[in-house]
Amino acid sequence: MSFIYGNQQTVDLIICDLFFPTEDSLLILQEVTSKFGIPTVIMSSNGDTSTVMKYITNGASDFLIKPLRIEELKNIWQHVFRKQIGAEHIRKCNNAQQVDQLSSYRAMGITEATATLDNEIRESNGTVTDIRDLRKSRLSWTMQLHRQFIAAVNSLGADKAVPKKILEIMKVKHLTREQVASHLQKYRLHVRNSTQTLHKDDTPSSSSYPNNESSILRTQLNSSSNSMYFDQDGCMEITDYSLPKDDLSSGSECILGERNNYSPECFQDFRWDSDKQGSETTYLWNFEAE
DNA sequence: TTACCAATAT
DNA sequence: TATATTGGTA
Protein backbone atom coordinates (compact mmCIF):
# COMPACT_ATOMS: atom_id res chain seq x y z
CA MET A 1 0.00 0.00 0.00
CA SER A 2 2.82 2.40 0.76
CA PHE A 3 4.26 1.73 -2.63
CA ILE A 4 0.95 2.44 -4.26
CA TYR A 5 0.55 5.62 -2.27
CA GLY A 6 3.92 6.77 -3.45
CA ASN A 7 3.40 5.79 -7.06
CA GLN A 8 -0.25 6.29 -7.68
CA GLN A 9 0.49 8.35 -10.77
CA THR A 10 2.49 5.66 -12.45
CA VAL A 11 0.82 2.47 -11.36
CA ASP A 12 -1.40 1.32 -14.19
CA LEU A 13 -2.56 -1.99 -12.92
CA ILE A 14 -2.38 -4.05 -9.77
CA ILE A 15 -2.32 -7.79 -9.66
CA CYS A 16 -2.91 -8.95 -6.16
CA ASP A 17 -2.88 -12.42 -4.76
CA LEU A 18 -5.70 -13.42 -2.50
CA PHE A 19 -4.36 -13.93 0.98
CA PHE A 20 -6.00 -16.26 3.37
CA PRO A 21 -6.99 -16.08 6.09
CA THR A 22 -6.40 -12.39 6.71
CA GLU A 23 -7.89 -11.28 3.44
CA ASP A 24 -5.54 -8.36 3.18
CA SER A 25 -6.23 -8.45 -0.50
CA LEU A 26 -9.82 -7.47 0.11
CA LEU A 27 -8.73 -4.47 2.14
CA ILE A 28 -6.18 -3.48 -0.45
CA LEU A 29 -8.75 -3.86 -3.16
CA GLN A 30 -11.28 -1.73 -1.38
CA GLU A 31 -8.80 0.99 -0.55
CA VAL A 32 -7.28 1.10 -3.98
CA THR A 33 -10.53 1.19 -5.85
CA SER A 34 -12.06 3.76 -3.56
CA LYS A 35 -9.10 6.10 -3.45
CA PHE A 36 -7.21 5.69 -6.66
CA GLY A 37 -9.37 3.77 -9.04
CA ILE A 38 -6.43 1.74 -10.23
CA PRO A 39 -7.63 -1.37 -12.00
CA THR A 40 -6.98 -4.31 -9.73
CA VAL A 41 -6.90 -7.93 -10.70
CA ILE A 42 -7.26 -10.55 -8.00
CA MET A 43 -5.50 -13.84 -8.34
CA SER A 44 -6.20 -16.99 -6.44
CA SER A 45 -6.23 -20.73 -6.64
CA ASN A 46 -9.63 -20.71 -5.09
CA GLY A 47 -12.25 -20.32 -7.77
CA ASP A 48 -15.39 -20.66 -5.72
CA THR A 49 -18.21 -18.67 -7.17
CA SER A 50 -18.84 -16.94 -3.89
CA THR A 51 -15.23 -15.89 -3.60
CA VAL A 52 -15.07 -14.58 -7.14
CA MET A 53 -18.33 -12.75 -6.58
CA LYS A 54 -17.07 -11.11 -3.45
CA TYR A 55 -14.04 -9.64 -5.11
CA ILE A 56 -15.76 -8.63 -8.29
CA THR A 57 -18.42 -6.96 -6.21
CA ASN A 58 -15.78 -5.07 -4.31
CA GLY A 59 -14.32 -3.63 -7.45
CA ALA A 60 -11.91 -6.18 -8.84
CA SER A 61 -11.43 -5.76 -12.57
CA ASP A 62 -10.82 -9.41 -13.05
CA PHE A 63 -10.35 -12.61 -11.13
CA LEU A 64 -7.66 -14.97 -12.28
CA ILE A 65 -7.53 -18.53 -11.10
CA LYS A 66 -4.18 -20.15 -10.54
CA PRO A 67 -2.36 -21.82 -12.01
CA LEU A 68 -2.39 -19.25 -14.77
CA ARG A 69 -1.92 -19.89 -18.40
CA ILE A 70 -0.11 -17.26 -20.36
CA GLU A 71 -3.16 -16.56 -22.48
CA GLU A 72 -4.98 -15.34 -19.43
CA LEU A 73 -2.43 -12.62 -18.95
CA LYS A 74 -2.39 -11.44 -22.52
CA ASN A 75 -5.56 -9.41 -22.23
CA ILE A 76 -4.98 -7.84 -18.90
CA TRP A 77 -4.07 -4.54 -20.53
CA GLN A 78 -7.72 -4.11 -21.40
CA HIS A 79 -8.50 -3.16 -17.83
CA VAL A 80 -6.12 -0.24 -18.07
CA PHE A 81 -7.49 0.72 -21.43
CA ARG A 82 -11.03 0.46 -20.29
CA LYS A 83 -10.39 2.81 -17.42
CA GLN A 84 -9.19 5.49 -19.79
CA ILE A 85 -12.29 5.39 -21.90
CA GLY A 86 -14.48 7.14 -19.36
CA ALA A 87 -16.28 6.54 -16.15
CA GLU A 88 -19.78 5.99 -17.39
CA HIS A 89 -18.72 3.80 -20.19
CA ILE A 90 -16.62 1.80 -17.83
CA ARG A 91 -19.41 0.91 -15.56
CA LYS A 92 -21.55 -0.51 -18.30
CA CYS A 93 -18.69 -2.41 -19.78
CA ASN A 94 -17.57 -3.76 -16.51
CA ASN A 95 -20.95 -4.96 -15.50
CA ALA A 96 -21.45 -6.67 -18.78
CA GLN A 97 -17.97 -8.03 -18.70
CA GLN A 98 -18.23 -9.34 -15.20
CA VAL A 99 -21.21 -11.40 -16.09
CA ASP A 100 -19.42 -12.68 -19.14
CA GLN A 101 -16.39 -13.46 -17.09
CA LEU A 102 -18.29 -15.52 -14.61
CA SER A 103 -20.21 -17.42 -17.17
CA SER A 104 -17.09 -18.10 -19.13
CA TYR A 105 -15.41 -19.40 -16.02
CA ARG A 106 -18.35 -21.62 -15.52
CA ALA A 107 -18.25 -22.73 -19.11
CA MET A 108 -14.64 -23.69 -18.67
CA GLY A 109 -15.56 -25.77 -15.70
CA ILE A 110 -13.31 -23.78 -13.46
CA THR A 111 -15.86 -22.48 -11.07
CA GLU A 112 -16.40 -25.32 -8.70
CA ALA A 113 -13.09 -26.58 -7.52
CA THR A 114 -14.98 -29.15 -5.55
CA ALA A 115 -16.08 -30.98 -8.62
CA THR A 116 -14.00 -34.10 -8.88
CA LEU A 117 -10.69 -34.73 -7.33
CA ASP A 118 -10.44 -38.07 -8.94
CA ASN A 119 -7.47 -37.20 -11.02
CA GLU A 120 -5.85 -40.53 -10.65
CA ILE A 121 -5.62 -43.17 -13.26
CA ARG A 122 -5.98 -46.52 -11.66
CA GLU A 123 -5.50 -50.06 -12.68
CA SER A 124 -8.00 -52.74 -11.96
CA ASN A 125 -6.39 -53.62 -8.67
CA GLY A 126 -6.67 -50.06 -7.50
CA THR A 127 -3.03 -49.23 -7.91
CA VAL A 128 -2.48 -45.66 -8.95
CA THR A 129 -0.45 -45.45 -12.10
CA ASP A 130 -0.84 -41.86 -13.10
CA ILE A 131 -1.76 -38.52 -11.68
CA ARG A 132 -2.72 -35.67 -13.87
CA ASP A 133 -4.93 -32.76 -13.50
CA LEU A 134 -3.21 -29.92 -15.14
CA ARG A 135 -5.61 -27.45 -13.70
CA LYS A 136 -4.92 -28.40 -10.16
CA SER A 137 -1.56 -27.13 -9.08
CA ARG A 138 -1.13 -29.11 -5.93
CA LEU A 139 -0.89 -32.82 -5.65
CA SER A 140 -3.21 -34.36 -3.15
CA TRP A 141 -1.86 -37.41 -1.39
CA THR A 142 -4.81 -39.70 -1.37
CA MET A 143 -4.93 -42.79 0.77
CA GLN A 144 -4.02 -45.06 -2.10
CA LEU A 145 -1.14 -42.88 -3.21
CA HIS A 146 0.04 -42.77 0.36
CA ARG A 147 -0.19 -46.54 0.67
CA GLN A 148 1.96 -46.97 -2.37
CA PHE A 149 4.38 -44.52 -0.93
CA ILE A 150 4.51 -46.44 2.32
CA ALA A 151 4.87 -49.70 0.49
CA ALA A 152 7.82 -48.32 -1.42
CA VAL A 153 9.43 -46.96 1.71
CA ASN A 154 9.01 -50.24 3.51
CA SER A 155 10.32 -52.28 0.66
CA LEU A 156 13.42 -50.14 0.53
CA GLY A 157 14.02 -50.05 4.22
CA ALA A 158 14.20 -47.03 6.43
CA ASP A 159 17.78 -46.17 5.66
CA LYS A 160 17.64 -46.60 1.92
CA ALA A 161 14.31 -44.95 1.30
CA VAL A 162 15.23 -41.82 -0.61
CA PRO A 163 12.99 -39.87 -2.91
CA LYS A 164 14.32 -41.09 -6.20
CA LYS A 165 14.11 -44.76 -5.33
CA ILE A 166 10.69 -44.35 -3.83
CA LEU A 167 9.57 -42.65 -6.98
CA GLU A 168 10.90 -45.48 -9.10
CA ILE A 169 9.11 -48.11 -7.09
CA MET A 170 5.84 -46.27 -6.95
CA LYS A 171 5.54 -46.20 -10.71
CA VAL A 172 3.16 -43.28 -10.87
CA LYS A 173 3.32 -41.16 -13.96
CA HIS A 174 3.65 -37.42 -13.56
CA LEU A 175 4.63 -37.82 -9.96
CA THR A 176 7.83 -35.88 -9.40
CA ARG A 177 10.80 -36.58 -7.25
CA GLU A 178 10.23 -33.30 -5.48
CA GLN A 179 6.73 -34.26 -4.54
CA VAL A 180 7.93 -37.54 -3.13
CA ALA A 181 10.70 -35.74 -1.30
CA SER A 182 8.26 -33.37 0.24
CA HIS A 183 6.02 -36.17 1.34
CA LEU A 184 8.96 -38.13 2.65
CA GLN A 185 10.08 -35.19 4.71
CA LYS A 186 6.75 -34.98 6.37
CA TYR A 187 6.55 -38.71 6.81
CA ARG A 188 9.90 -38.84 8.55
CA LEU A 189 8.90 -36.00 10.76
CA HIS A 190 5.78 -37.85 11.68
CA VAL A 191 7.62 -41.05 12.41
CA ARG A 192 10.12 -39.19 14.51
CA ASN A 193 7.44 -37.52 16.58
CA SER A 194 5.55 -40.74 16.92
CA THR A 195 8.37 -42.83 18.25
CA GLN A 196 9.43 -39.97 20.45
CA THR A 197 6.07 -39.65 22.11
CA LEU A 198 5.81 -43.40 22.24
CA HIS A 199 8.76 -43.52 24.55
CA LYS A 200 7.52 -40.60 26.50
CA ASP A 201 4.10 -42.04 27.16
CA ASP A 202 5.48 -45.46 27.79
CA THR A 203 4.45 -45.38 31.38
CA PRO A 204 1.01 -46.94 31.30
CA SER A 205 -0.22 -45.03 34.30
CA SER A 206 0.01 -41.62 32.72
CA SER A 207 -1.39 -42.68 29.41
CA SER A 208 -4.87 -41.48 30.01
CA TYR A 209 -5.28 -37.81 30.58
CA PRO A 210 -8.42 -36.15 31.74
CA ASN A 211 -9.87 -34.44 28.77
CA ASN A 212 -9.78 -30.90 29.99
CA GLU A 213 -6.21 -31.14 31.13
CA SER A 214 -4.97 -32.76 28.01
CA SER A 215 -5.97 -29.78 25.96
CA ILE A 216 -3.92 -27.55 28.19
CA LEU A 217 -0.95 -29.82 28.00
CA ARG A 218 -1.27 -30.01 24.31
CA THR A 219 -0.94 -26.32 23.86
CA GLN A 220 2.13 -26.19 26.02
CA LEU A 221 4.14 -29.01 24.56
CA ASN A 222 3.89 -28.97 20.85
CA SER A 223 5.04 -32.55 20.63
CA SER A 224 2.38 -33.76 22.95
CA SER A 225 -0.27 -33.26 20.34
CA ASN A 226 0.92 -36.55 18.95
CA SER A 227 0.46 -38.41 22.13
CA MET A 228 -3.20 -38.71 21.49
CA TYR A 229 -2.47 -40.86 18.47
CA PHE A 230 -0.78 -43.40 20.56
CA ASP A 231 -2.61 -43.52 23.78
CA GLN A 232 -4.53 -46.42 22.42
CA ASP A 233 -4.42 -46.52 18.69
CA GLY A 234 -0.70 -46.38 18.29
CA CYS A 235 -0.42 -49.85 17.01
CA MET A 236 -3.30 -49.40 14.68
CA GLU A 237 -1.64 -46.44 13.15
CA ILE A 238 1.59 -48.23 12.68
CA THR A 239 -0.06 -51.20 11.08
CA ASP A 240 -1.63 -48.82 8.70
CA TYR A 241 1.75 -47.54 7.71
CA SER A 242 3.45 -50.85 7.45
CA LEU A 243 3.07 -52.84 4.33
CA PRO A 244 -0.21 -54.61 3.92
CA LYS A 245 0.72 -58.13 4.79
CA ASP A 246 -1.35 -61.25 4.71
CA ASP A 247 -2.20 -61.18 8.35
CA LEU A 248 -2.07 -57.87 10.05
CA SER A 249 -4.72 -59.00 12.44
CA SER A 250 -2.15 -60.76 14.54
CA GLY A 251 -0.65 -57.34 14.96
CA SER A 252 1.72 -56.69 17.82
CA GLU A 253 4.95 -57.07 15.90
CA CYS A 254 4.52 -54.27 13.47
CA ILE A 255 7.45 -52.02 14.12
CA LEU A 256 8.16 -48.96 12.12
CA GLY A 257 11.61 -48.69 10.73
CA GLU A 258 11.95 -52.42 10.77
CA ARG A 259 13.08 -53.29 7.31
CA ASN A 260 11.17 -56.01 5.63
CA ASN A 261 12.30 -57.49 2.40
CA TYR A 262 9.26 -57.00 0.34
CA SER A 263 9.71 -57.21 -3.34
CA PRO A 264 7.77 -54.84 -5.54
CA GLU A 265 5.46 -57.62 -6.63
CA CYS A 266 4.21 -57.98 -3.13
CA PHE A 267 2.12 -54.89 -3.26
CA GLN A 268 1.36 -54.97 -6.93
CA ASP A 269 -1.70 -57.09 -6.49
CA PHE A 270 -2.63 -55.82 -3.13
CA ARG A 271 -6.08 -54.44 -2.70
CA TRP A 272 -7.83 -52.82 0.17
CA ASP A 273 -11.38 -53.86 0.68
CA SER A 274 -12.85 -50.45 1.17
CA ASP A 275 -11.44 -47.77 -1.02
CA LYS A 276 -13.48 -44.83 -0.07
CA GLN A 277 -12.49 -41.71 -1.91
CA GLY A 278 -13.54 -38.53 -0.27
CA SER A 279 -12.08 -36.33 2.35
CA GLU A 280 -9.72 -39.12 3.13
CA THR A 281 -6.73 -36.94 2.56
CA THR A 282 -7.28 -35.24 5.83
CA TYR A 283 -6.89 -38.42 7.74
CA LEU A 284 -3.66 -39.60 6.25
CA TRP A 285 -1.67 -38.66 9.28
CA ASN A 286 -4.26 -37.98 11.88
CA PHE A 287 -5.91 -41.17 12.76
CA GLU A 288 -7.37 -39.80 15.89
CA ALA A 289 -9.94 -37.99 13.83
CA GLU A 290 -13.00 -39.96 13.02
C1' DT B 1 25.49 -32.63 -12.47
C1' DT B 2 22.47 -34.80 -9.72
C1' DA B 3 20.16 -35.71 -5.63
C1' DC B 4 19.46 -35.20 -0.43
C1' DC B 5 17.43 -32.84 2.95
C1' DA B 6 16.37 -29.11 6.28
C1' DA B 7 14.46 -24.86 6.18
C1' DT B 8 11.39 -21.91 4.43
C1' DA B 9 7.62 -20.27 1.48
C1' DT B 10 2.98 -20.55 -0.27
C1' DT C 1 -2.08 -27.85 7.74
C1' DA C 2 -0.41 -29.82 3.41
C1' DT C 3 2.43 -29.37 -0.22
C1' DA C 4 6.01 -26.75 -2.98
C1' DT C 5 10.31 -24.43 -3.44
C1' DT C 6 14.83 -23.01 -2.10
C1' DG C 7 19.54 -23.35 -1.03
C1' DG C 8 23.47 -25.51 1.20
C1' DT C 9 25.86 -29.73 0.78
C1' DA C 10 27.60 -34.31 -0.61
pLDDT digit string, tens, across residues A66-112: 777 777 777 888 888 887 775 545 455 555 444 444 444 433 333 33
- At residue A246, the pLDDT reads 25
Question: Residues A180-218, buried b or exposed e (16+ Cβ, 10 A)?
Answer: beebbeebeebbebbbebbeebeeeeeeebeeeebeeeb
Query: Is the sign of the CA dihedral A277, A282, A286, A290 positive or negative?
Result: negative
Q: What is the pTM of this model?
A: 0.45
Write the DSSP assignment of A141-174 as a string of letters: --HHHHHHHHHHHHHH-TTT--HHHHHHHH--BT
Q: Which of residues 182-221 of A touch strand B (CB under 7 A)?
A: 182, 184-185, 188
pLDDT digit string, tens, across residues A247-268: 222 222 222 222 333 333 223 2
User: Which residue is closest to B7 in terms of CA–C1' distance?
Assistant: A185
pLDDT digit string, tens, across residues A125-149: 667 777 665 455 688 899 989 999 9
- At residue A159, the pLDDT reads 85
- Distance CA(A209)–CA(A215), nearest Å, equals 9
> Please, which positions of strand B sit below 7 A from a protein CB?
3-7
- pLDDT-based confidence at residue A119 (cuts at 50, 70, 90): low
Is A55's CB less than 7 Å from nucleic acid strand C? no
Domains of chain A: 1-92 (3.40.50.2300), 140-193 (1.10.10.60)
**3 state SS for A111-147:** CCCCCCCCCEEECCCCCEEEECCCCCCCCCCCHHHHH
